Chain A
Amino acid sequence: MIGAQRMTVRAAVEGVRAALAAGGRFVAAFYEEQDDARLIRYVIAGKTGLVELIGIIENGPTPALSADIPAADWAEREIRDRFGVEFSGIPETRRLLPPCDPASYRRSAAPEVSTVLYGPVRSGIVESARWVIETAGEDFIAVYPSMFFKHRGLEHLFTTVDLGRATYVAEHVSGATAASHAICFSLAVERALGIRVADADRAARLVLIELERIHQHLDALAKLADDGSLAVGAAQTFAAKERVHRLLAEATGNRFSRGAVRIGGAYGDLLATLRDVCARRLDEVEREATSVVDGLFGTQSLLDRLIGTGKLSRELVTNYGAVGPVARGNGVSSDVRMTADVLFSIGEGDEALEEDGDAFARARVRANEIRRAFFIVRDALNADLATATPSYAAQRSGVGLARVESPQGELVYFVRVVDGRLARVAIRSASFANWPLFVHTLPGNIFTDFSFIEHSFGLIQAETDR
C-alpha cells in the first residue's frame, strides 16, 4: 500500500487525474515539510487499496484539482489557507478558514434576498459552525458553509507529544468517536514502525469500534426523531444509547472508551474484560437498541418527514468522494471494513446499501449497520483466537497510512515517525470529506428541513476542524 515515489507536483497531479479517471476515489491531500522540501501527498482509493502520489512543490503555483474534481476542493483550499501554498486554478478565491468576513460570502446582489447568519452559536446542544444562508423568505436560495471555528491545532499538537501518550491526543480529536481515532492512529503508527498487534487486542479494538458505531448511529437516529417531534421515540432512543455508554464505562472505565487503546494493542486484558461485561449486559443493550430502531421505522409520521428530504444524486456523491452512510445512502460503497486489514471483514453482500439518497435511505443504512454491528461484536467476542504475542517496534522511523471505518465513514491517518518521535500527523476524517456535500441537499427544501438533513448526515465538527 505504501511505497510511493516522489515526483514533481505537476506530475503528481496528472497521476491523480489518471487514477481518478481509472475509477479511483479521491481521499486526501496531505501537506508536509520534510528536509527543506515541501510536499503534497495525494491519496487515492483504488480497487486494491490506497494509492499515494507524492508531489514536490516547486517554484511557481501548484496546479489545482479543485476546478474539475470537487472532492479535492476543501483539501486544497485548506492547504492554501493554512500553509500558504500558492495554487493556480482554484475557482473559489475566498478563504476556507477563519478569519473571514461573512459579508463576503453573500452571492446574490438582488436586494430582496435576505441573508441569515446561522451560527457559529446555534440553538440546541450542537457544535459550532456557521452557514451564510440567503433566502427570500423560507426557502434556500444560496448557502455557504463557513466552518473551522473549532480549529485547535491538533495535528501540530501531536508532534509535541511522545509516542507513548500520543493516543490521548488522538482521542481528543473527536471525543465522541474516540475509539475510531485512537485505533486508526495506532494502526498508522504500528504500520510505520512494524509493530504487530496481538489477536486478542485486535478483537477488542474491533468490539470497541462496533460498539462506538452503535452508540453514534443511535445518536443520529435519536436526533432525527427529536427533529420530527417524536419526543417519546427520541427519549427511548437516547435511553438505548445510554445503555451502550454504561456498558463501555463498566468495561473500559470511560463512557466513550477513552484511555483503553494504546499503540501496540490495548491496556490490560481488554478482551477478557469486554467478554465478562458483555456476557452480562450485551443482550439487554441489543434488545433495547433493535427494538427502538424497529419502533422508529414503524412510525409513519417520522418516515414521512424523512422520505424525499435532503436528496443527493449518485453523481454528486461520487464526484465529492463522499464516504460512510452518506455515500451508502446512494449506493456508493466505501466500507473500509471490506477492504482494509481488519480482524474480521464483512463480505460484499453484507454492506448496507440504499438507492434513494434521501434522509430516509441514510437512516436505513444506519439501522442496518446497528444490527450488523451486534453480530460482529458477538463474533469477535466468541472467536477462537491464536495466542500470538505481539512484536515490538521493528524500527524507530517510518511512514504509515491507515484507515478505519468510523461511524461517520472512512477515517484516514497519516503519520511520519522520525527517530521515535512524531514528525507529522495528518488526518482526513469522514466529516471533512462529507461536509462539502451538505449544501447540495438544500435546494428545494425549507428552513425546517435543515436540521433533518444535518442530522441525517450525522457528522462531527470537531474532527473536521481539528
Chain B
Amino acid sequence: MSAQLVTVSLLIASAGLLAALCIPANVSRWLGYGALALASLAALSGALHGLSEGNVVSVWLALALAHAVVRIDATSATFVAIISVIALATSVYALGGKARDERHQGRAGAAAANLIWIGSIIVCSSGDVWFFLFGWELVALGFYAAIAYSGNDESAGVAAYYTLVITHVAGAGIVAGLLILAHVARSYGVMEVAAAGAALEPAARTAVFFLLLAGFGAKIGLLPLQGWLPYGYPAAPTAVAALMAGGALNVGFYGIIRFLIGFGGPIPLTWGLIVIILGALGAFFGIAWAQAQRDVRLLAAFSSVENAGLIVVGLGIALVGRSVHFPLLVGLGVAAAYVQIAAHALAKSLLFLCACGIRNAVGTLSFESLGALMHRLPLHASAGLVAAMSLAALPPLGGFTGEWLILESCMQGFRTAIAPAEVTLALAGAVVGLSAGIAVVAFVKFVGIALLGAPRSAAAAEAVELRAPLQTIALVGLCVSIVGLGVATPWYLRALTPAIDGIANADIVARMTSSLPLVQPTYSGFSSASGLGLGMTILIAALAFGILVRLIPRPATKTEQPWTSGAAYAAWTQYTGTGFANPTRVILHAAVRTVRTTSGDVFDPHSVASEYASVSRPFFDLANAVVIGKAFLRIAAVVRRTQSGIIAAYLSYILAFAIAVLVLYPSIRRW
C-alpha cells in the first residue's frame, strides 16, 4: 500500500510538472503547485502507512525498455514523510501567493519544485541503484532549473553554474562508488549494494566510502564542499528555496544513512572519527560565517551548513558505534540525527518562507534595509521568530531537542574506552556547544535587526503583508510542527521506531522513551529532557507573569522617543547588522576573514563622500577554489591538444587502444 501510494504521488507530480511546463501563465502555476500539494499528501500518507506497517513493499514499474523499483522500507518512509511535509507546506504557501514577482517566476518555480520533489522522492524510495542515480540527477537538474530560470537579476548564472558543477562532480563520486559496489554485489538492488562493502579490499573500501561521503556531503553542504550553498540558495526563488533547503537537502542524509551507516562489513574507527571531525568543523565554521552575513538568505544558507555539520556529527557517532559494536550508540546517533533532520527541515523551510514574505513585501532581504517588520508583517515575522528560535536551539522547540540529543551522544565517548574516540567525541561536543552559542548571536541578529527596531529604509516602513489564508495555513502549520516536535519528541521517535531500531538492531526507541514524556539517551540513568515539561513551564510562567503584571498597580507611564544624545530620533542612528555582529566577527576573525576597502581619506574634512565596503571571505569559498581550478585548466589545455580534429589522429588513437587491449587482455581477464 505504501509503495503504491508513493508511485501514485510520483505520477501526480509528473503531471503537475508537465502542466507547469506546457500550459502558459497563471493557470499552470496553480496546476503545478496544486499537483505538488496533492502528490505530497499522497506520499505522506503512504510513508506514514509504511512506517506503521513496518514491512518492506516494492512496486516494479515498467518504463519503456527499463524497469524501476519503488521500495518503501522504514528509512525510506521516514525521509519521504519529512520531504513531503515540507513540500506540502511550500506548495500550499505558494498557492496562496499573489505577489507580482512570484507570478513571473510562477511557472518556472512550479516546474522546478515538482522536478525537485520527484527527484527527491525517487532517491529516497528507489529500490535499485540506477533509479537512485536517476532521481539524484533529477534533483540536480531541478536545482539548476530553479536557479537559472528564477528571473532574478542577481548572479543567477554564476550561482546555477556553481550549483550544477559541484553537485555533478560530487555526483560523479556517488556514481563511481555505487557502481563499484554494484559490481561487487553483482546486483543493482539498493540493499545488496549497501551490504556489498564487506566484499571489497580495504583500500577499495576506503576509497568507495569517502567517494560516497564526498558525494552526499556536497548535497548537504558538508565541509569542505559547502561552497555552492551561499550562491545557490539566495539565487533561487525564495519559496522554491524553502523546498530545496528544507526538503531536498535531506536526500544527502538519506544517502549517508542508507549507504554509509549501512555500509557492509566492519567499519574502522578512523572513518567515524573523520566524519565527526568534518561535521564539528562544519558546524562551527558554518555558523561563524552565518553571523557575519548581511543577507537573510545567506544567513540561512550558512545555517544549513551548520546544521548539516551537527547532523553529520550524530551520524558519525553512529558510525563509531558500529566500529566498537555498541548498538545503543548507533541507535542514539541515528535517533539524534533524525530529530535534528526533522527540526532543521521544518525550521529552515519556515525561515525561507518568512524570507519569501519579506521579499515580496519589502523587495529586499538585506539586513541594512529591514527593520520593524514585526509590526508591518506580523504573521511572517512571527513565523520567522519561531524558525529563528528553533535554529538557535531554544526550548521548547524542535531544534533544542535535536541539539540536546546530539550533545548527549557526544558525551557518550567514555563508554568506548578508546582514547582517540573519547577525545574526538569530547572535542566535538565542545565545538557543537560553541556553535550553538554563536547561533544565538546569528539569530538574535536576524530577529533584532530585521524584525524589531525601526525601519531602516522607506520600503520597510511601507511594507504591507499580503494576508492569504493559504499562506497563513502553511506558516501556522509549520510553526505548530516545530513546537510539536520539541514538545512531543518521544512520540515522534516512537513513530520512527522501525527506522531507528532497524539500523541499530536493538530496541532503541523503547529505551529512549521509556519514561514519557521524557526523552533520554539510550543509556538509562544518564540524563533526560522533557520538551513537554519545558513547554508547559514556559507557558505557565508567561501566563503567571502576565497576570501578575495586570494585578500589580503600576505608575503612569509616558511614551517618549528613544534617547539619542538630545537629537530628534532618526532610524539611521540604529545599529546595523554588521555593527551588532562586529564583536563576534572580530573574535572569530581567523574564520571570518573580512576584507575592508575604503577609498578616499575618510578623515579629510574636505572629502564629502567616501566608499566603504567589507566582504567576508570564508575559506573554501568558491572564488578561492579558482586557484585549484587553474591547475585543472592547465591539464585540460594539455589534453585538449589531443583533440585536434584530424581524422588520422583519431584512427591512430583507436589502433593504439586496440593493441593495448590485446596486449593487456590476459592480465585484465585475471583481474
Per the CB under 8 Å rule, do A and B touch in the complex?
yes
A residues with CB within 8 A of B:
66-67, 70, 73, 91-94, 102-103, 106-122, 130, 135-138, 141-144, 436, 439-440, 442-443
Query: Smallest Cβ distance from B349 to chain A, in angstroms?
Result: 28
Decide: B575 and A142 in contact? CB cutoff 8 A: no
Decide: B603 and A135 in contact? CB cutoff 8 A: no
Decide: A142 and B602 in contact? CB cutoff 8 A: yes
Decide: A112 and B605 in contact? CB cutoff 8 A: no
Closest to B580 in A: A137
**Residue numbers in B under 8 Å from A144 (CB-CB):** 605
Decide: B572 and A136 in contact? CB cutoff 8 A: no
Q: Report the separation of the CA atoms of residues A443 and B600 in the bound assembly, to the nearest whole angstrom.
A: 13
Q: Which of B98-106, B119-127, B193-201, B582-590 contacts A (4 or more CB under 8 A)?
A: B582-590
**Residue numbers in A under 8 Å from B585 (CB-CB):** 137
Decide: B609 and A109 in contact? CB cutoff 8 A: yes
Closest to A144 in B: B605
Closest to B368 in A: A111
Decide: B576 and A142 in contact? CB cutoff 8 A: no
Decide: A102 and B567 in contact? CB cutoff 8 A: yes
Decide: B603 and A112 in contact? CB cutoff 8 A: no
Q: Does B611 touch A at the CB level, under 8 Å?
A: yes
**Residue numbers in B under 8 Å from A93 (CB-CB):** 608
Q: A67-B606, A73-B605, A120-B565 given. 19 additional CB < 8 A pairs?
A: A91-B605, A93-B608, A94-B608, A103-B570, A103-B572, A107-B608, A107-B609, A108-B610, A111-B366, A111-B576, A112-B579, A113-B576, A121-B566, A122-B565, A130-B567, A136-B578, A136-B612, A142-B602, A143-B603
Query: Smallest Cβ distance from A446 to chain B, in angstroms?
Result: 10
Q: What are 24 A-B pairs with beta-carbon distances under 8 A?
A: A92-B608, A93-B608, A103-B572, A107-B610, A108-B611, A110-B611, A110-B612, A110-B614, A111-B576, A112-B294, A112-B577, A112-B579, A113-B612, A114-B575, A115-B573, A116-B573, A120-B565, A130-B565, A130-B567, A136-B579, A136-B582, A141-B602, A142-B602, A443-B603
What are the nearest 4 A-B pairs in CB distance?
A137-B582, A111-B368, A121-B566, A91-B606
Decide: A442 and B579 in contact? CB cutoff 8 A: no
A114-B575, A120-B565 are known contacts. Are A108 and B603 too (CB-CB below 8 A)? no
Closest to A110 in B: B612
A136-B614, A137-B585, A142-B602 are known contacts. Are A117 and B579 too (CB-CB below 8 A)? no
Residue from B578, B603, B611 in contact with A439 in the complex, judged by beta carbons closer than 8 Å? B603
Decide: B607 and A107 in contact? CB cutoff 8 A: yes
When each residue 594-606 of chain B gets 1 if its CB lies under 8 Å from chain A and 0 otherwise, what string results?
Answer: 0010100011011
Decide: B605 and A92 in contact? CB cutoff 8 A: yes
Decide: B578 and A107 in contact? CB cutoff 8 A: no
**Residue numbers in A under 8 Å from B608 (CB-CB):** 92-94, 107
Query: Smallest Cβ distance from B288 to chain A, in angstroms?
Result: 16
Decide: A112 and B598 in contact? CB cutoff 8 A: no
**Residue numbers in A under 8 Å from B578 (CB-CB):** 112-114, 136-137
Residue from A117, A137, A141, A443 in contact with B564 in the complex, judged by beta carbons closer than 8 Å? A117
When each residue 342-372 of chain B gets 1 if its CB lies under 8 Å from chain A and 0 otherwise, what string results?
Answer: 0000000000000000000000001011000
**Residue numbers in A under 8 Å from B566 (CB-CB):** 119-121
Closest to A145 in B: B605
Q: Report the separation of the CA atoms of residues A436 and B604 in the bound assembly, to the nearest whole angstrom.
A: 10
**Residue numbers in B under 8 Å from A106 (CB-CB):** 572
Residue from A108, A137, A440 in contact with B579 in the complex, judged by beta carbons closer than 8 Å? A137
Query: Smallest Cβ distance from A138 to chain B, in angstroms?
Result: 6
Q: Does B574 touch A at the CB level, under 8 Å?
A: yes
A119-B565, A120-B565 are known contacts. Are A114 and B579 too (CB-CB below 8 A)? yes
Q: Report the separation of the CA atoms of residues A103 and B568 in the bound assembly, to the nearest whole angstrom.
A: 11
Residue from A107, A115, A118 in contact with B602 in the complex, judged by beta carbons closer than 8 Å? A107
**Residue numbers in B under 8 Å from A109 (CB-CB):** 609, 611-612
**Residue numbers in B under 8 Å from A142 (CB-CB):** 602-603, 610
A107-B609, A136-B579 are known contacts. Are A112 and B614 too (CB-CB below 8 A)? yes
Closest to B613 in A: A110
Residue from B574, B583, B603, B610 in contact with A137 in the complex, judged by beta carbons closer than 8 Å? B583
Decide: A141 and B598 in contact? CB cutoff 8 A: yes
Q: Report the separation of the CA atoms of residues A257 and B603 in the bound assembly, to the nearest whole angstrom.
A: 39
Pick the most buried of A120, A137, A143, A443: most chain B CB atoms within 10 A of its CB: A137
Q: Report the separation of the CA atoms of residues A22 and B147 in the bound assembly, to the nearest whole angstrom.
A: 68
A103-B570, A120-B565, A121-B565 are known contacts. Are A92 and B606 too (CB-CB below 8 A)? yes
Q: Report the separation of the CA atoms of residues A436 and B603 in the bound assembly, to the nearest whole angstrom.
A: 11
Decide: B576 and A114 in contact? CB cutoff 8 A: yes
**Residue numbers in B under 8 Å from A103 (CB-CB):** 570, 572
Query: Smallest Cβ distance from B141 to chain A, in angstroms?
Result: 36
**Residue numbers in A under 8 Å from B368 (CB-CB):** 111-112
Query: Smallest Cβ distance from B357 to chain A, in angstroms?
Result: 22
Query: Smallest Cβ distance from A423 to chain B, in angstroms?
Result: 33
**Residue numbers in A under 8 Å from B607 (CB-CB):** 107
Q: Report the separation of the CA atoms of residues A266 and B578 in the bound assembly, to the nearest whole angstrom.
A: 60
**Residue numbers in B under 8 Å from A121 (CB-CB):** 565-566
A110-B613, A136-B582, A141-B612 are known contacts. Are A440 and B576 too (CB-CB below 8 A)? no
Chain B residues 536-582 with CB under 8 Å of chain A are 564-567, 570, 572-579, 582
**Residue numbers in A under 8 Å from B606 (CB-CB):** 66-67, 91-92
Q: Report the separation of the CA atoms of residues A356 and B233 in the bound assembly, to the nearest whole angstrom.
A: 53
Closest to A73 in B: B605
**Residue numbers in A under 8 Å from B582 (CB-CB):** 136-138
Chain B residues 38-93 with CB under 8 Å of chain A are none
Q: Report the separation of the CA atoms of residues A422 and B241 in the bound assembly, to the nearest whole angstrom.
A: 78
A108-B612, A137-B583, A141-B612 are known contacts. Are A117 and B603 too (CB-CB below 8 A)? no
Decide: A114 and B574 in contact? CB cutoff 8 A: yes
Closest to B572 in A: A115
**Residue numbers in B under 8 Å from A442 (CB-CB):** 603
